[in-house]
Amino acid sequence: MPEPLLRFARVGKSFGGVRALDDVSFDVLAGEVHVLAGENGAGKSTLIKILAGVHPGFDGEMTLQGKPLRPASPDDARRSGISVIHQELSLVDSMSVSDNIHLGRESRRLGGWWLDRPAQVARSAELCRQLNLELSEADMARPVEAFSLSVKNRIEIAKALAFEARVIVMDEPTSALDRPEVDKLFTLVAALRARGCAVIYITHKMEEIARVADRITVLRDGKWVGTAPAGECPERRLIQWMVGRDLSEQFPPPGEGRAGGTAAPALETRGLGVRDPDPSRRNAVGGVSLRVAPGEILGIAGLQGSGAAELFQGLFGSRGACCTGEVTLGGVPFHPKNPRDSIGRGLAHLTADRKATGLVLGMSVGANVSLASLPGVSPMGLLRRGIERSRARHWAGALGIRLASIEQPVGTLSGGNQQKVVLAKWLCTGPRVLLLEDPTRGVDVGAKREIYSLMRAWTGQGMAILLISSELPELLGLSDRILVLHRGSVSAEFTRAEATQEKVLAAAMGSQ
Amino acid sequence: MKAAFQIPWVRALLALALVFAIGCLCNAHGAFFHWSTHRDMLRQVSVYGILACGMTLVVVSGGIDLAVGSVLGLSAVIFSTATLHHGLPAFLAVALTLGAGAAAGLASGTLVSRLRVQPFIATLALMVFARGLAKALSGGQKISRVIQQPDGSFSYVDLPTVFARLDARVLGGNVAAVSLVFLACVLVSWVVLSRLRYGRYLYATGGNEDAARLSGVPVVRAKLLAYGLCGVFAAVAGICQAAQEEQGDPEAGTGYELTAIAIVVIGGTSLAGGRGGVGLTLIGAITIGYLEKILSINAVPEASRLMLTGAIIVAAVLLQRRKP
């Protein structure tokens, strides 16, 4: 066994009492591609952030080539030889290729004040040649925004090499790439391996694991589950490792007589496609047909980049009219235009990130609750605070929101209560179809259970729910049916009885 | 005590009290304690205050309007030309001027909301354009009672009564008419921000535009309303300015946008958007008014006055800053 390049020894990290990562130990060798696998929330990102110096305070220790490694900042980590290539690339779009490659490590003259551009360009061109990037010397001076995403991806790798990185972390690098571009990336990964770099590769796709992995480490619920050479780790074992937990949360029993076949569907799509706003990317969703009956909860399973979130955005018109194909709402043809129009037609969309897109944090609880249904509390355009307050109080009571006053800023509530405020906002609009994206994110166990039983109560009144959840047990426990998306199209459909975590996860990772 | 200090208007009043205390100390041999000092303060700050009302609407929606000073000058020219040169009845001239102000505001609003130009750039462009238009309409001359005939001789027109009315003092000569106009503007802005559905739209847009849009808030229309009303208020200020000066000066209002922004910020309305209100702006206007008054009754030279004003604005804003 060669001396490991990078070693994690009992690494752990807590966030406000929540143990995100616990006692993780494994080795990464020079010249290997080490796949890091696990469900959403398994602790992969936390581990990578510790490695990248984003979370300087952590338990346990890391060693790089036998020397202790304790990066205090991203810059520090980079200087130690660790480069992380994030899903959202960290290139400055308006700057040239060579400036980007050298960002933070400029070639300087005259005591460090004078930027030596020609030297940078020459060095960048040399790096690109080594990586078989089809970029000429003239391209080095062009801004990065002129290139496609896949070229940007590889420019980022060139940047890592410019820093003489010994450990390169790739966080789902293929999520927005086409197949030929993925092939190019894999050639590059092979080249990095040949140079003796260690590549830590995070992916949700079985096919990629089979193609690139030398060894695989699986994390689950913040704990290390196992590390094995790729040859000794068949797909089935891998999925068992990733899932292996029981349904700890309690889910309310499904309602009665909701076959979905007889009643007119609340929402139906035929061949629905959603364009990506960036035309250089492929369609986020292509050819999805689904139907959901009143009173039914349809789960949409899919890992990151599956197109599940974009499906919701397309249906709700969040990014304007960007849908192709047919949609009917309660049997009536529907062309998603904008959120305002969709709300008027009985659609509601609870987004995953409540701080960025759900709440106006500076406004009061009452104002947030009424935000999506303001015409109802302001006849003739005149805001009636009395109506607003009594409505907000009603929903605060119905959802069990714990607060001091309706007038208190929503930002002062706990996460679970904030989430209930967002739910209240959407229920105020009287929706017939509710699109829920991670409705219990950042919510404690007690509040989760309350939200689950509320969802059942609403479907009992004939509401239809489409549910995305990054937690598989939640999806399995709540859904009447589950549709699995992989790379923007439906890869499997399960009834409640058929669905198991193993089957759903296998379909979400695109295994046949 | 600490909790009370978190309330925005408590802090705004604190800043005002501070300035007032300085006035009591540096009272220029008792001049600060004369009733006329306070009355004149309110009159002198009124035009700025009117601009600040419109500015508050725009700032709450997450924007900024640098064009208000130029629109004031343009409006003064339009109003004077309409009344003095064309002899239009007062109400028609007022309607025409307010319409022009609204058009200017809607132009900024369209650039900002529909064409997604950054507010600073869009209104900077309009600021330059409106000043140019004012000069073009007036031929670069002040529009006054004196009219040069084609043959080179001069004739005089009578000043219409609307000028005298707006420059008058009412309530037994105790309050200037422009101050009443200012207070009326505060009231209108307050109704818009606190009592209308659109006011809520403005706060939501300024607080979190994405969340607002995804909740069905008509973000584009809300911004159009804010900039449109801001233009109308600038036109009102222009009419008041013309009445006080008895002429329409195409250079009027130069630099006023900065005072208006200072008033809004000293009041405690956040330039980040989504927080604040016109009540705070009223307090801010009075604070700035007292500041100017104290400096002038103490005969502080212009140079020192500017430097002191800058320093005091920074101090007031630091005092206002909320903890992150």
Whether residue B301 is contained in a domain is answered as yes
Query: What local confidence, expressed as pLDDT, does residue A237 receive?
Result: 82
Question: If you average pLDDT over residues A298-304, what whole number do you get?
Answer: 88
Query: What local confidence, expressed as pLDDT, does residue A262 receive?
Result: 58
Residue A197: helix, strand or coil by DSSP?
coil
Of A145, A151, A189, which is closest to residue A170 (Cα–Cα)? A189
| Other CB atoms within 10 A of residue A30 CB | 17
Whether residue B1 is contained in a domain is answered as no
Kindly state the percentage of chain A with pLDDT values over 90: 36
Nearest CB to A381; choose among B196, B204, B211: B196
Whether residue A358 is contained in a domain is answered as no
Kindly state the percentage of chain B with pLDDT values over 90: 68
* Contacts with A343 from chain B: Cβ below 8 Å: 215-216
Structural domain span for residue B121? 7-320
Q: What is the mean pLDDT of chain B?
A: 91
Residue B28, token pair as written in the block: 């220029």
**Are residues A169 and A76 part of one domain?**
yes
**Are residues A336 and A439 part of one domain?**
yes
Terminal-residue alpha carbon distance, chain B: 19
Whether residue A193 is contained in a domain is answered as yes
Query: How far apart, in whole angstroms, are the C-alpha atoms of residue B30 and residue A29?
Result: 84
Query: What local confidence, expressed as pLDDT, does residue A403 receive?
Result: 83
**Are residues A171 and A71 part of one domain?**
yes
Nearest CB to B213; choose among A339, A362, A381: A339
pLDDT of A258 > 60? The answer is no
Nearest CB to B200; choose among A383, A425, A429: A383
Nearest CB to A371; choose among B195, B198, B217: B217
**Are residues A437 and A503 part of one domain?**
yes
Which of the two residues, B13 and A443, has the higher pLDDT score? B13
CATH number at residue B137: 1.10.3470
B85 at A interface, C-beta within 8 A? no
Whether residue A394 is contained in a domain is answered as yes
ipTM of the complex: 0.87
pLDDT of A278 > 80? The answer is no
> What is the full DSSP assignment across A234-245?
-HHHHHHHHH--
Query: What local confidence, expressed as pLDDT, does residue B216 receive?
Result: 93
Last residue of a domain, one of A429, A446, A479: A429
Query: How far apart, in whole angstroms, are the C-alpha atoms of residue A39 and residue A378?
Result: 45
Interface list for B 162-201 with A (CB within 8 A): 194-201
Last residue of a domain, one of A230, A245, A260: A245
Burial A448-462 (b: 16+ CB within 10 A, else e): bbbbbebbbebbeee
Q: Could B195 and A356 be called an inter-chain contact, meaning their C-beta atoms sit closer than 8 Å?
A: no
Query: What local confidence, expressed as pLDDT, does residue A159 receive?
Result: 85
With both helix axes pointing from N to C terminus, report the angle between A117-130 and A149-162 in degrees, rounded to the nearest 10: 110
Question: If you average pLDDT over residues A485-503, what whole number do you get?
Answer: 90
* Contacts with A363 from chain B: Cβ below 8 Å: 203-204, 207, 274
**Are residues A441 and A424 part of one domain?**
no
* Measured CA angle at B288 (ends B284, B293), to 5 deg: 145
* Contacts with B215 from chain A: Cβ below 8 Å: 339, 343, 371-372, 425
**Are residues A60 and A141 part of one domain?**
no
**Are residues A60 and A173 part of one domain?**
yes
Whether residue A354 is contained in a domain is answered as no
**Are residues A461 and A317 part of one domain?**
yes
Which of the 8 DSSP states describes residue A305? T
Contact A286, A306 (CB under 8 A): no
Contact A439, A270 (CB under 8 A): no
pLDDT of A507 > 50? The answer is yes
B6 at A interface, C-beta within 8 A? no
**Are residues A419 and A289 part of one domain?**
no
What band does B131 get if pLDDT is binned at 50, 70 and 90?
very high
Contact A232, A214 (CB under 8 A): no
Residue A336, token pair as written in the block: 């998603």
Write the pLDDT tens digit of every residue in A427-474: 999 999 999 998 987 676 667 778 888 899 999 999 999 999 877 888
Q: What is the mean pLDDT of chain A?
A: 85
Q: Could B215 and A349 be called an inter-chain contact, meaning their C-beta atoms sit closer than 8 Å?
A: no
Query: What local confidence, expressed as pLDDT, does residue A260 receive?
Result: 47
What band does B277 get if pLDDT is binned at 50, 70 and 90?
very high
Query: How far apart, in whole angstroms, are the C-alpha atoms of residue B31 and residue A96?
Result: 64
Start-end of H helices in B81-194: 90-113, 119-138, 161-166, 177-190
Contact B229, B213 (CB under 8 A): no
Query: What local confidence, expressed as pLDDT, does residue B197 receive?
Result: 94
Q: Which of B196, B215, B219, B275 to mutate to test the interface with A (most CBs of A within 10 A)?
A: B215
Q: Could B208 and A425 be called an inter-chain contact, meaning their C-beta atoms sit closer than 8 Å?
A: no
Instruction: Dihedral sign for Cα A424, A426, A428, A432, please.
Output: negative
* Contacts with B218 from chain A: Cβ below 8 Å: 340
Whether residue B2 is contained in a domain is answered as no
* Contacts with A374 from chain B: Cβ below 8 Å: 197, 200-201, 217
Nearest CB to A356; choose among B199, B210, B213: B210
Largest Cα separation within chain A, whole Å, is 79
Of A328, A266, A331, A313, which is closest to residue A292 (Cα–Cα)? A266
Q: How far is CA B170 from CA A77, A461, B180, B257, B293, in A?
A: 72, 63, 9, 28, 21
Which of the two residues, A23 and A263, has the higher pLDDT score? A23
Nearest CB to A374; choose among B195, B200, B208: B200
**Are residues A394 and A410 part of one domain?**
yes
Q: Which helix (H) or strand (E) holds A493?
A: strand A489-495
Query: How far apart, in whole angstroms, are the C-alpha atoms of residue A153 and residue B131?
Result: 49
CATH number at residue A319: 3.40.50.300
Q: Could B210 and A362 be called an inter-chain contact, meaning their C-beta atoms sit closer than 8 Å?
A: no
> What is the full DSSP assignment across B10-57?
HHHHHHHHHHHHHHHHS-TTTGGGSHHHHHHHHHHHHHHHHHHHHHHH
**Are residues A172 and A73 part of one domain?**
yes
Whether residue B259 is contained in a domain is answered as yes
Give the nearest chain B residue to A368 (CA atoms).
Answer: B204
The torsion region of residue A23 among left (phi > 0), alpha (psi -120 to 50) and beta comes to: left
Q: In Å, how far is A389's CA from the nearest CA of chain B? A: 14
pTM across the whole model = 0.80
Q: Could B203 and A360 be called an inter-chain contact, meaning their C-beta atoms sit closer than 8 Å?
A: yes
Chain A positions contacting chain B at CB under 8 Å are 316, 318, 338-340, 342-344, 349, 351, 356-363, 367, 370-372, 374-375, 378, 381-383, 425, 429
Q: Could A351 and B217 be called an inter-chain contact, meaning their C-beta atoms sit closer than 8 Å?
A: no
Count of structural domains, chain A: 4
**Are residues A446 and A420 part of one domain?**
no
Last residue of a domain, one of A228, A245, A262: A245
Nearest CB to B211; choose among A342, A359, A370: A359
Whether residue B74 is contained in a domain is answered as yes
Q: In Å, how far is B268's CA from the nearest CA of chain A? A: 14
Write the pLDDT tens digit of every residue in A144-153: 888 877 788 8
On the 0-12 / 13-18 / 19+ scale of CB atoms within 10 A, B5 is: exposed
What band does B162 get if pLDDT is binned at 50, 70 and 90?
confident
Q: In Å, how far is B241's CA from the nearest CA of chain A? A: 33
Query: What local confidence, expressed as pLDDT, does residue B218 receive?
Result: 95
Whether residue A421 is contained in a domain is answered as yes
Query: What local confidence, expressed as pLDDT, does residue B282 receive?
Result: 97
Query: What local confidence, expressed as pLDDT, does residue A107 receive?
Result: 64
Of B56, B47, B53, B51, which is closest to residue B68 (Cα–Cα)? B51
Terminal-residue alpha carbon distance, chain A: 35
Q: Could A367 and B203 be called an inter-chain contact, meaning their C-beta atoms sit closer than 8 Å?
A: yes
pLDDT of B324 > 50? The answer is no
Query: How far apart, in whole angstroms, are the C-alpha atoms of residue A172 and residue A150?
Result: 13
Query: What local confidence, expressed as pLDDT, does residue A206 receive?
Result: 79
What band does A257 get if pLDDT is binned at 50, 70 and 90?
very low
Query: How far apart, in whole angstroms, are the C-alpha atoms of residue B48 and residue A258?
Result: 65
Question: If you average pLDDT over residues A326-334, what whole number do you get?
Answer: 91
Q: Could B197 and A374 be called an inter-chain contact, meaning their C-beta atoms sit closer than 8 Å?
A: yes
Residues 6+ apart with CB under 8 A from B217: A340, A371, A374, B201, B204, B205
Which of A255-259, B83-87, B110-114 is modeled with the greatest confidence? B110-114
Query: How far apart, in whole angstroms, are the C-alpha atoms of residue A13 and residue A78?
Result: 21
Structural domain span for residue A94? 89-163
Residue A386, token pair as written in the block: 């009395």
Residue with tokens 């035929």: A270
* Contacts with A371 from chain B: Cβ below 8 Å: 200, 204, 211-212, 215, 217
Q: Could A357 and B214 be called an inter-chain contact, meaning their C-beta atoms sit closer than 8 Å?
A: yes
With both helix axes pointing from N to C terminus, report the angle between B197-207 and B35-60 in degrees, rounded to the nearest 10: 70
Write the pLDDT tens digit of every residue in A331-374: 899 999 999 999 999 999 999 888 889 999 989 999 999 999 99
Query: What local confidence, expressed as pLDDT, does residue B89 receive?
Result: 92
Contact A117, A101 (CB under 8 A): no
Give the nearest chain B residue to A346 (CA atoms).
Answer: B216
Whether residue A301 is contained in a domain is answered as yes
Burial A207-220 (b: 16+ CB within 10 A, else e): ebbeebbbbbbbbb
Count of structural domains, chain B: 1
pLDDT of A137 > 70? The answer is yes
Contact A364, A371 (CB under 8 A): no
